[in-house]
Structure formats: C-alpha cells, structure tokens
Amino acid sequence: MARIHLSRIGHAYTEGAYALAPSDITFDDGGTYALLGPSGCGKTTMLNIISGLVKASEGSVWFDDADVTGISTANRNIAQVFQFPVIYQSKTVFENLAFPLRCRNWGRERIRARVVQVADILGLTARLGRSARSLTADEKQLISLGRGLVRDDVAAILMDEPLTVIDPQMKFELRRKIKQANEQTRLTVIYVTHDQNEAMSIADEVLVMEQGRVVQRDTPSRLFESPVNTYVGNFIGSPGMNFIPLRRHETGLAIGRHLLPAVPVEVLACASDQAVTLGVRPEHICFCRQEQPGALPVSVLAKHDHGRIFIVDIDIDGSPAKVKVAREQGIPPGRAWVALPADRLRFYAADRLIASA
Amino acid sequence: MSLETIDLTLMCEAVPHLQDINAVFERGRLTAVIGRTLAGKTTLLRSIAGLQERIEGRLELDGRNFSALPPWKRDVAMVYQQFINYPHLNVYENIAFPLRRKHQADDVIRRKVEQILTMVGLSGFETRKPSELSGGQQQRVALARALCREADILLLDEPLVNLDYKLREQLREEFRDLLVARTDAIVIYTTTEPAEAMLLGDRVVVMHEGRILQAGSPAEVFDRPVSEVVAGIVNDPPMSLFPGALDGRGIALEGGISIEAAPHMAGLPPGRYRFGIRAGELRMDGNTLRGRVVFTEVSGSETSLYLETPCGALAVQREGVHVYPHGALVHVGLPAHRVFVFDSGTGALVAAPLAGAN
Amino acid sequence: MTGNLYRILKYAAVVLWSVFVVTPFLWALTTSFKTINGVTGGATYIPWLQYKPSLDGWHNLFGGSSGIDIVHPYINSIIVTASASLISIVLGTLAAYGLSRFDYRVGIVKNGDLVFFFISQRIMPPVVLAIPFFLMLQWLHLLDTRLGLVLVYIVLLLPIAVWIMVDFFNNIPRQINEMAMLDGCTPLGAFVRVILPNSLPGIIVAGMFCLVFGWNDFFFAFTLTFTNVQLLPTAIVSLNSSVTPWWSLSAAALISVAPLVLVAFLVERFLSRGTLAGAIR
C-alpha cells in the first residue's frame, strides 16, 4: 500500500501538445479514486504514468517517499486490470490466482489460504476448480482483479475501464463485487472510466478531467452539489444542471425581468463587466403557488414522461430550463410559478463557481 | 395501415425465442418494446424485417400476406445497436443509398439528403466517411438513412445502448423529436430502459422470455403493471417485493413489520399476498423499516441504496448523490398508499395505487 | 541508448539491408551489358570505365546469334498467369463469400472443414501433383497448351484466393448485408454493391499473391509444356548451353521481374493514397 504522489507531472506525446498538463497530484493510501472524463482527456495517460507503462515527459512519480520514476512497471508492485480480461486460459481459477504467489515462492499452505480468502471476497469460491476458459467475461475480469489482490506487496490497483466489455446486465454485479473487494482490502485503487455513474458509485473521490487537466477533484456528493464550472455541472447528473444567464439590475441580479431574491453578497460585489450565470439543478426547482415569496412566473413548454418522474421544459422569461417532477405531483399547464430554493443556487462568473447561497 | 403479427413463434433447440406473439402495430404510432436482454425483442424486429429464419406464424400488413415478401421488397428500415453504416461510402452516399436503389432522380435525392442532414445536425459532413465520425455521429447517420427513405416501417433496435451516458441523454431527446415528427410510418423501438420506453412510446409492449406480457399506453403499463414480472421490468431499480399477509388490521410483513392497509386494498379478501413498492416511493428517515446498506449505486442524479431488511431485500432510491458506507443503518418509511399488491401464487396484480395526476 | 545513437543505428541497418536487397539487381543490370570477355575477366562493375558495354545479352533474348525468342514465352506467361489469377480470384471470392455467409453441411463436414480443405491444397508439395496432372491433361489432349496450363494454375491459385478472402469476409459484419437487403438490394446486389467494394484490399492482396505465385512457377510449366507453348521460366532455362550465358540470363532475369515490379508499384500507390485504408473498418 502506498501513497502516490505525482510531482509536476506532465506528458506530451508530440512537441507542444500536452496530453496531460503539468500539475501536482496526490493519492492517499487506501483511498479509492476515479479518473473521469471523455476519451482524450488524459485519464489513461495518467494511469499509465503511475503504472510505469508510459514515462512522463516531465516530472516525477513518488510512492510513499521513494522516487519510482525510473523504476520499471514490474518493480513498482502495481496490479493493473485492463479492459480485456488477462488470464491464463489453460489453468484453473485457483492456479490463476495462485500464480503471482508461486512466482514469489510462497509456501503451499500460505498460497492456499490466501487464494481461498480472495476468492471468497470476489465470490469465486465455487469456481476455484474450473478451467479459466469456461468462465464468463465478468468472472474473467474478477480473476484479473483477484490476481492483484492476492499479493501482499501491492502498492496500488489500477483499473482501466474494466467494465467496458461486460454485458450491461452483469455490470451491476461486477461493480458491486469490485466495490466490496475495495472496502474489504482497503488498497489504494485508481479507477479510470468515462461513465459518470461508475465513477460516482465506486470512488471516495472523483477527479473530473478534461483536455489533460483535472477540472474538479471532490467527493461524489460535492461534485453533484457544487460543480466548479459549467462543464462539470453538465457532465454530472441527469439531466445536467440548468445554467441561466443573469442580468444586472440596479438592485441586484435578475432572470429576464424578474429579480432574484437572496443573492449572496460576493456575487453582487463582483465586477460589473462579468457575466454572471445561475446554476440550479432540475430536481431543486419546484412548482409553487403565486403567493409564495420569491416565486417566479414561467411558461410550461412541454412535459416528458420518464416513468417515475417527469421532466418539464419551462421558460423563465426567455431562459429555458428543466424541472424534475415526481409522477404523483401535478404539473400546471401553460403559465405557472416556480420557487428556487436559496441554498441550492450556485453562481458562476467567467465559468467558475464564485458562490453558493 | 397496420402491421399484425399472428402467432409468431421461434424455437431454437427447444428454447423458445418467441412464443405466440400476437400484436398489432398502427401507422403513426411509436411502439416501445421493453424487456430485458434475451427477452426476444431483437428476434421480433428481425422477424418483421424478414431477416429471421425458421420463424413460424404470419405477418400481415393491412391484411395482405407480409411474410411471403423477401426483405428487399418489404419497405422496412432498421437502425442497429452497433452503428451500422456502409464503410466505403461517405455520409451523403450512405443516406442516398436506399433512394438510389429506388431509382429516384438526383435532384430529388439531393434535396432529401440535405434536409435530413440538417434535421440530424450533420450539415457539412457530407463528404466524410463513417470511420471518421464519432459513435454518436455514426448513429445519427444511420438514423438519417432510415428516416430519409420514408419507409412504411421503421425499426430501431436499442440504438442508444452503445453510446456513453451523456450522449445517450442528448440523443434520446433528438430521436424523440425526430421520430415524433414521422406521423405516417409504423415505428417500433426496443429498449431495456424504462425511462426510454416511457419517453418515446405512444404505446408500450412488455416482453419477457419470448412472450408479450402486457401492451398499453405508457401510463397504463407503469401505473398498472399486470404482474410482478412486468413491475420488475418497467421500474429501474426493479420494484422490491415482499411476501406478507393482509388481514383486518392491515399488512403484516415478515420480521414483525406491520402497516395499515390503504384504501385501494379495501376490496381484497384477507390472505397471503406479495407486496411491491417502487424504490423511489419509499420515504427516507421514516420509521417503518430498518435496513443495512449492502450496496449503493449512483445513477444520473439519483442514488440507489440496496438494503437488507427483516422482510427481505429492499431497493431505495433518493434524489441527489449520497454516499453510504457498507453496513450503514437506514430507516425508511413505507407509504401504504403506494404499495402494489400481487397474488402470491400467480404474481398477477390484484390492487394498484391510484394513478398520479399526470 | 541515447536518441541520436539509436537513430544512426536505425538508419545504418536500413541502409545495409537496402544494399543487400538492391545489389543483386545492380549486378544483373551491369552483367546484362557485358560480353563473354567482360564476364570472364574478373569482377567489373562500372560500364565504360571497367568494361565495354554491349547489347549482346539483350540481343540474344530477341533472337540473336546464340539466343532464343523471348517475346513469345513472355506473352504466354502473361496470358496464362493473368487468366489463371483472374479466374481464381473471381471463383475464390465467390467461394469465400459462400463459406463466410452461408452454413453448409455435408454429413459432418461444415464450413470450417471446407475452408481447411482449401488451405490444405497448399500444404501439399506440388511434386505430388506432377504425374496426375500430366496424365489428366494428356487424356484431355491439353498437354502443351495454354488452356491446360491455365486450368492447372487455377487449381494451385484458387486456395490462396479463398484463404485470404474468407478471413476478409468474416470481418465484415453480417448486419451490413442485412442493411443492404433492407435498403432494397437482393442478396447478390448486396454482394456486388456493398461487400465487394469493402473487400477491395483483400482482393488486391489475393490478386498479388496469385500473380506472384503464378508468374514464378517453373515446375508445372516445365512438366506440362514442351514445344508449342513455352513459358518464361522454361524459356530462360533453355538459354543455357555449355557456356553459361550470364549476360543473357541477367537480361532475362531483369525483364521477367519487370511486370511484378510494375504491379507492386501500382498497388503501393493505390494503397498510399488511402483509398484502400478508408474502406477498411
């Protein structure tokens, strides 16, 4: 187990074009981290730099207090799980899991105890005697993971989109097992994915990446509640956060003609030439009665049935937004009133979060 | 115009892929077929397209024998899961391909292709090859080709399943707008996601293990699922089900939990039943049930908790992103007026909560 | 290893290998312009400086004093190789398409077995077929004819075409066929309009293999032709006499390589234009 520190790490595959912009990043020992972003954002590059498969063009990699930048992958004690299961087809499940330990000359009894323990964590106990070839894709991926878990000198487990080839039905089961294994073994895990749900479900902390940079690094809840810019606000959550441009008034900020009550002081105080945008999630906007203080008049444009909920398209004096409504609740037709809860509002200027109410 | 399938059956080595499928698909309506993987949805579409061999039963289009026609005479357009486009043709020629087969004039083709490209948001992409496009763009080209030829029957086989999450969200809305505008074709769209079926379908057909279990409007299927199995398919996370008994005092579940019966259960004779509740309708911090968290899953803007309770496994969904450590204790309230009651032997619905206001 | 040293070594290796490959051609080129005097007097390389170039070698190929007429064998070779290759590719592609798209079953023999059967034809040493083919052609009165040779070459080249194309067709998803049929093509139409254009790289590779194997075949040309029809390899061999005519042989070697070099050149330009690359998905 190790604390992984990337010091001024940057990587450019060709001159001048950074796949990963130089920065300092630390992963604490025992934490589960997710690197989240679309293809090309640099997440796989970062993972490969940590494992040693790619030598960064600048900066150094530290495991605890040791500089491992020059050390090869094999000697860094990294366990890696790839998109495609990497197993020994001709061996049994037991032999597959025992292999790394045999290479390290462990005693027979010790190997047996350890393999049984790990197989139990992964739910593979019933399959130990079977040939690896006969397993399903998700079971094979579990073996790939298991080979990393059996070793006791593993610094970190790196997973590169391991659920990509798994059937949608089995993804759920596999994700659950990976999470359980993480919780039981408490190794440092770094998980790369482009799927928000995967990242938010598995990780203690998610690093959202875009074009080689870490845009926000936070717990899943805080990413959802306080996205640091409009990109994260759109990327996390379904539907994404509503972003409504605000106009300046003598007395404050307004959506169209309607003044917003309860705008934090920092927002009012920011430079008058900066455009301010309001961020509020569809689930936090609610329909209310006209008399309610702070109610804003809107027109209801359309409602879309999503089963348990309805997504309603509204227009607040020229600005479109979406509202999430539970199925049992009524949706007023035509003109209606909405309330924006003050504690759920986020304000953005120059595309950065400046205040939350 | 309507397409009717009559006793469509396909058996493969004694495993039924389709069993006695009898359904009617009307012109101008989008039918969403929902079911789990291997429910028979793809097989059904392939049968309608004429691509499935060894199928028994008949297909009739407006009373005429449709089964006798080979695929190239059926005027059926299909969009696959796997972004199928002609690799050797550019975007323009890909979309024009079926029109050329019908020997339409060049200027007519040009007008139609340009129009459809604007509708799918790919104007200016005419000369690109499919291999140069992203997954979402390729699927848009496939859809454009299917729409442009104005076929009588349009089949879409889980077209969004291979796209990533946010792209799926975006394309779902685009597809909805594009498909809704086609008022002169029979459109059939298969999916595994209840939200998609509800959003797109004028009519929802629920399939399971090769059979049609229920067909009706989205509201009907969602508010009154005809059985436990249907309730499991049209809810995500699936509805949690508990065995229990109904008597004069109320509902008695296992583990000593009891709640008052609700008005919609008034007419039921006392006895043993199975009770179902949707994950999103349980109340957090209620005091009916206590359970320990086995697993949490974040999906979009919701968090689903899977609990072990004295009455059985329970799925709870709450708004927002919340992290629960394994083994955390959670209290939930079970609102009786949202509970579904199913027959404990057959699983058929005997009482459903009153439908919502919309 | 530092970057520069690595680059130098890389280029050195490439240069060395190029020299190794090109030298025989250069040698043949210079030798073809020599006379018997130039050849026996020790190694000489540079014309006009070290020896007096003469066109004797070339002359002999076209009916000179001690030579033969190369033109007819040349044309025969082109005709036989081109026809056999063309027919093999056409038949082989169609066979491969059938093996890829349809399920055959004769007793316990299935698609995979049939493909292996085709491949197994090339595992067999050609020598084994010499006598059977001889007897067959004799019976058909096709010995020493172009047609006879073409038939024999088809038997030899067809497996190559099938082998390459089956793999190619297997990599084209079946849904593309289905899509084409739904768009209005009959199965044959789908094959011609959609599958074939996508298989162009495969056809070209198969074509090149067939041409090379066919053109270079000496054994069957030697066994199955005598006087009426002569192919290039046998014609060149017949140039030999008590004194080996190195100059004529060199010239012959050069012109016999020429057509293949031309084909390779054309294919390479075609490939590098990305026309083929775009078709692959």
Chain B residue closest in CA terms to C184: B72
- Touch criterion met for A and B (3+ Cβ pairs within 8 Å): yes
Residues A251, A229: one domain? no
The answer to whether A290 faces chain B, any CB pair under 8 Å, is no
DSSP H helical ranges for chain A: 43-51, 93-103, 108-122, 137-150, 168-185, 196-202, 220-225, 230-235, 265-269
Interface probe, candidates A308, A313, A331, chain B, greatest B C-beta count within 10 A: A308
Q: How far apart are CA B215 and CA A50, in angstroms?
A: 53
pLDDT of B17 strictly over 90: no
- Rounded CA separation A145/A203 (Å): 16
Whole-number mean pLDDT of chain C?
Answer: 84
Touching C (3+ Cβ pairs <8 A), the chains are B
Same domain? A85 vs A197: yes
Better-scored residue on pLDDT, A217 or C33: A217
B76 → closest Cβ in C182, C189, C194: C182
A168–chain B Cβ distance below 8 A for any pair: yes
Candidates C173, C182, C280; nearest CB to B49: C182
Q: What gap in Å lies between CA B72 and CA B49, rounded to an integer?
A: 9
**Contact (Cβ atoms closer than 8 angstroms) between residue B337 and residue B288:** no
Among the listed residues A319, A342, A301, A300, the one whose alpha carbon sits nearest the alpha carbon of residue A255? A319
Say whether B98 and C183 touch across the interface (CB within 8 A). yes
In this structure, the answer to whether residues A18 and A135 fall within a common structural domain is: yes
Q: How confident is the model at residue C279 (pLDDT cuts 50, 70, 90)?
A: very low
Distance between CA atoms of residues A147 and A149, nearest Å: 6
Facing residues of A78 across strands?
A: A156
Residue B102 has pLDDT above 70, yes or no: yes
Residues A267 and A215 in one domain: no
Which among A176, A234, A305 has the least Cβ separation from residue B198? Answer: A305
Whether C173 and chain B come into contact, CB under 8 Å, resolves to yes
CA angle (C229, C233, C239) in 5-degree steps: 90
* Domain final residue, candidates A190, A210, A235: A235
B51, B71, B87: residue with CB nearest C281: B87
Q: Which of A205, A235, A265 is the last residue of a domain?
A: A235
Q: What is the CATH number of the domain that holds A144?
A: 3.40.50.300
What are chain B's partners, defined as 3 or more CB pairs within 8 angstroms?
Answer: A, C
- Best A36, A191, A201 residue to mutate vs chain B (most B CBs within 10 Å): A201
Residues of B in contact with C189 (CB under 8 A): 72, 101
Same domain, A229 and A247: no
> Inter-chain contact B101–C185, Cβ cutoff 8 Å?
yes
* Same domain? A199 vs A264: no
**What is the predicted pLDDT for the residue at C281?**
35
Burial group, residue B14, by CB count within 10 angstroms (0-12, 13-18, 19+):
exposed
CB nearest to B323's CB, from A168, A176, A219 = A219
Q: Which amino acid is at C223?
A: T
Looking at the structure, do residues A291 and A308 belong to the same domain, yes or no?
A: yes
CA distance B273 to chain A (A): 24
d(CA B301, CA B296): 13
Residue numbers of the domain that contains A141: 4-235
Residue B287 parent element (H or E): strand B283-299
Instruction: With both helix axes pointing from N to C terminus, report the angle between C246-272 and C200-216 in degrees, rounded to the nearest 10.
Output: 180
Residue B161, SS3 per DSSP: coil
Question: Which residue, of A235, A254, A273, is where some domain finishes?
Answer: A235
Sign of the dihedral through C-alpha C229, C233, C239, C240? negative
Closest chain C residue to B46 measured between Cα atoms? C178
**For residues B188, B189, B192 and B196, what is the CA-based torsion angle, rounded to 10 degrees?**
-130
Burial of C43 from C-beta contacts in 10 A (0-12 / 13-18 / 19+): exposed
Domain co-membership, A225 together with A249: no
* Domains, chain C, ordered by start: 2-61 (no CATH), 71-238 (1.10.3720.10)
Task: Tell me the two tokens of residue A18.
Answer: 């950074």
Domain count, chain A: 2
CATH number at residue A283: 2.40.50.140
Distances (CA, A) of C215 to A14, C130, C210, C225: 46, 18, 8, 15
Task: Note whether A67 and A84 are same-domain residues.
Answer: yes
All residues of chain B having their beta carbon less than 8 Å from the beta carbon of residue C281 are: 87, 130-131
Does one domain contain both A121 and A30?
yes
| pLDDT per residue as tens, chain A (357 positions) | 678 888 888 888 877 788 888 888 999 888 889 999 887 788 888 998 898 888 888 888 888 888 888 888 878 888 888 888 888 888 889 998 898 888 888 889 999 998 998 888 888 888 888 888 888 888 888 888 888 888 878 888 899 988 887 777 778 778 888 888 887 878 889 999 988 888 998 899 999 998 888 999 999 999 999 999 999 999 898 889 999 998 887 777 888 888 887 788 877 777 777 888 899 999 999 898 888 888 888 999 988 888 888 999 999 988 999 999 988 788 888 888 998 888 888 998 888 888 776
* Co-location of A123 and A212 in the same domain: yes
Which token pair is A350?
């120059």
pLDDT of residue C42: 62
C-alpha distances out from residue C126 to C146, C152, C153, C210, Å: 19, 11, 11, 15
Q: A201 — contact with chain B (CB < 8 Å)?
A: yes
Question: Which residue in the set A175, A183, A237 is minimally distant from B300, CB to CB?
Answer: A237
> Contact partners of A by the rule of 3+ C-beta pairs under 8 A?
B
Residues of B in contact with A175 (CB under 8 A): 297
**Helix, strand or coil, per DSSP, at residue A82:** coil
- Yes or no: say if B322 and B303 are a contact pair by the CB < 8 Å rule: yes
**pLDDT tens profile C98-141:** 999 888 888 888 888 888 888 888 888 888 888 999 999 999 99
Are A224 and A268 in a shared domain? no
